[in-house]
């Protein structure tokens, strides 16, 4: 495992498990062994180049959930799952890392009670949606296996 990818990321939270299988997770994160087995199984599919388990990695029905896959010349619909469109995005914030305290931020977020103020919903939500089942999710990132994560970019390798 002497690829540029592996060498550059050594010492961070990216862990190579083989030449094609990696996880991105802190040392404190527990990941089910079945999910790791499923990463390796997926890596053995024809034309699969890389398999990466994310911090929310967990076992699925044959293939892992919470992972990214890179294959060449072949598409695997079974790897998309049932929440197509669920993905990752990079957003720039004005949070200064020298003033950021992860524990305090996590505490503030865990103290949130509701996703959207009832008064805001009554004022802004069209009446046709007043009793819609997804109303309770407005202002959230959804239910199930969805999460928000803050990271700091340490180095830009190619600005183009």
Tally of CB atoms within 10 A around 50: 14
* pLDDT on residue 114: 64
**Rounded-to-integer distance, Cα 20 and Cα 52, Å:** 8
**Is residue 48 predicted with pLDDT exceeding 90?**
yes
pLDDT tens, residue by residue, 54-78: 888 999 989 999 899 999 999 998 8
Range list of H helices, 44-142: 102-110, 118-124
Q: What residues form the annotated binding site for Mn(2+)?
A: 83
**Is residue 38 predicted with pLDDT exceeding 90?**
yes
Q: What residues form the annotated binding site?
A: 83
Q: Which of 5-9, 36-40, 83-87, 139-143 has the highest mean pLDDT?
A: 36-40
Q: Per-domain residue ranges for the chain?
A: 4-79, 90-155
**Rounded-to-integer distance, Cα 104 and Cα 122, Å:** 32
pLDDT tens, residue by residue, 87-119: 667 778 887 777 777 788 778 777 776 667 778
CB 79 within 8 A of CB 69: yes
Query: What does the radius of gyration of the chain's CA atoms come to, in whole angstroms?
Result: 19
For the segment 37-60, the average pLDDT, to the nearest whole number, is: 95
- Using alpha carbons, list the distances in angstroms from residue 136 to 14, 120, 126: 35, 12, 14
């Amino acid at each position: 495992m002497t690829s540029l990818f592996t060498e550059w990321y050594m010492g961070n939270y990216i862990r190579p498990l083989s030449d094609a299988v990696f996880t991105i997770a802190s040392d404190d994160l527990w990941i089910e062994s079945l999910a790791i087995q499923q990463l390796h199984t997926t890596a053995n599919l024809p034309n699969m180049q890389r398999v990466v388990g994310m911090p929310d990695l967990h076992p699925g029905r044959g293939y892992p959930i919470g992972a990214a896959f890179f294959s060449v010349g072949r598409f695997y619909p079974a790897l998309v799952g049932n929440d197509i469109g669920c993905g990752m995005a990079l957003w720039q914030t004005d949070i200064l890392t020298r003033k950021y305290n992860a524990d305090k931020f996590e505490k503030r977020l865990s103290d949130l009670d509701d996703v959207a103020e009832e008064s805001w919903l009554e004022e802004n939500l069209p009446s046709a949606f007043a009793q819609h089942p997804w109303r309770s999710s407005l202002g959230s990132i959804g239910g199930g296996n969805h999460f928000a994560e803050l990271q700091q970019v340490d180095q830009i390798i190619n600005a183009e």
